[in-house]
Amino acid sequence: MSDLSDLPCAVCGAPLERVRYFPRQMLTADDMRLEQDYFREKLRRHNRYLHGWGVVCGLAVEWTDDAKSWSVRVCPGYAVAPQGDEIAVDDCVIVDLKLGAVPDPCTVRWPCPPQGDMPGGSRERPAVAYIAVRYAECHTRPVRVHPAGCGCDEVSCEYARVRESFEIKVLWKLPQSHTDAAADDQAWCQALQQQPAATDIRRRHRFPAPACPPCVSDPWVVIATVAFPAAEAPSEQYKTSHPPQYEHRRVLLATQRLQTAVACFE
């Protein structure tokens, strides 16, 4: 499985180019990839600048029934990565807070241990683990490729498909992208509150153009935080009193949800 999309960050990268077709043109694999990259980058830029990034729906996190391990279950859902990639989790994934996600071929990259050093030793305060997801890709459907020339060489294989997937990992530190995004939201909110009150109804809902969001290199979208004390196995009482929390989750409301919310307050 590969890492993130190899496309550059929207706006920060080179200008977009698309193939110009003309008669008797010889097209190569590079031209086909450029055609794909053009539309993929347009969609990423649309998601990132018009909608933002965060969890759109689902991706609930809950303790599993296994009383002998620190494992949680990530439920299906949909999110948009900071780079604008779509992240679709179509089935439940079990994640061990000490070992990482449970292996499932081509669902996440293996091995997939937690990122960073786990807080060790006896602790007075519960350690905080951040369950995060990111966009990933993997190659599928190998096919035989005949060599160029006379065909005397051995037949080789190439992967014929790229499957869009995801990776779930345990982080022991909150990504800086979430801290920066929260600060940017707060600054934008303060800028709106400082706008002078408009008496003219035509100017009442005019907002200043915000600055473009900075390019984010960190791909992770935190979906929940889990607190646990020492290294011993969790008890049912502890799981009940310490469910996964969502205070660090960035929620990206769909247009339908925003319309419903506006109608509710009218």
Instruction: Give tens-digit pLDDT for 159-203.
Output: 888 888 898 988 988 999 999 999 998 888 888 777 766 555 555
The two three-digit tokens of residue 9, written as one number? 């960050």
The two three-digit tokens of residue 207, written as one number? 């907002």
In this prediction the pTM is 0.82
- Find the mean pLDDT for residues 212-225: 90
Is-contact 252 81, C-beta < 8 A? no
Residue 39 — pLDDT band, cuts 50, 70, 90? Answer: very high
98-120: b or e for each residue (b if 16 or more CB lie within 10 Å)? eebbeeeeebbbeebebeeeeee
- Find the mean pLDDT for residues 54-72: 89
Is-contact 82 219, C-beta < 8 A? yes
14-23: b or e for each residue (b if 16 or more CB lie within 10 Å)? eebeeeeeee
Is-contact 220 177, C-beta < 8 A? yes
The two three-digit tokens of residue 64, written as one number? 């599993």
Tokens 């996600």 correspond to 101
Is-contact 87 44, C-beta < 8 A? no
- Find the mean pLDDT for residues 109-114: 52
pLDDT of residue 89 exceeding 90, the answer is yes
- Find the mean pLDDT for residues 26-55: 93
Residue 152 — pLDDT band, cuts 50, 70, 90? Answer: low
DSSP, collapsed to helix, strand or coil, labels residue 42 as helix
Q: Where are the domains of the chain?
A: 54-180+229-264
Position 68 scores a pLDDT of 73
